[in-house]
Amino acid sequence: MMQHAIQLYGKASVYKISEINTEATYSIGKIYNDFSKALLESELPKNLNTDEKEQYIILLEDKAFPFEEKAIEFHELNMEHSRDNIYNEWVKKSLANLKNLFPARYNRKMKVDRYINVLH
């Protein structure tokens, strides 16, 4: 079902209408991100001891990571539309998702150099 939805959004993103293209690209990224979260939040088997639970969680993280990477890839693809002066609701939502998915790159606080005025 997930793959079918991604295929349908992929077909929609081929159209050269920015609103449709950006919404479809955002939606694909969201599907991948939601699936990654669902894996990480899935219920652990009840019969595991502490070590087995840790191993199981690590396994889930390993399985979820590629889906998170795909989500980042599609949201970054959506951000490329801003180069063409397209910054609509879907591009903004992609940026909001990237701030959570990849905070080191997209949610950094700007550093203001107090010495910059000395150079001017």
Q: What is the DSSP string of 90-111?
A: HHHHHHHHHHHH-HHHHSPPPP
Domain that holds residue 98: 2-119
| Predicted local confidence at residue 113, as pLDDT | 59
Separation between Cα atoms, residue 119 and residue 76, nearest integer Å: 35
Q: State whether residue 15 is helix, strand or coil.
A: coil
Q: What are phi and psi of 43, to 5 degrees?
A: -70, 135
Count of structural domains, the chain: 1
Helices 2-13 + 18-40 axis angle, to 10: 160
The pLDDT score that the predictor gives to residue 3 is 95
Section 18-34 average pLDDT: 97
Instruction: Report CA Rg, the chain.
Output: 19
What was the pLDDT predicted at 24?
96
Q: What is the mean pLDDT of the chain?
A: 92
> What gap in Å lies between CA 30 and CA 116, rounded to an integer?
40
Task: Say whether pLDDT at 116 is over 60.
Answer: no
**pLDDT number for residue 31:** 98
Residue type, 100: N
Q: How confident is the model at residue 14, as a pLDDT?
A: 82
Task: Let me know if 82 is exposed, middle or buried by CB neighbors in 10 A (0-12, 13-18, 19+).
Answer: middle
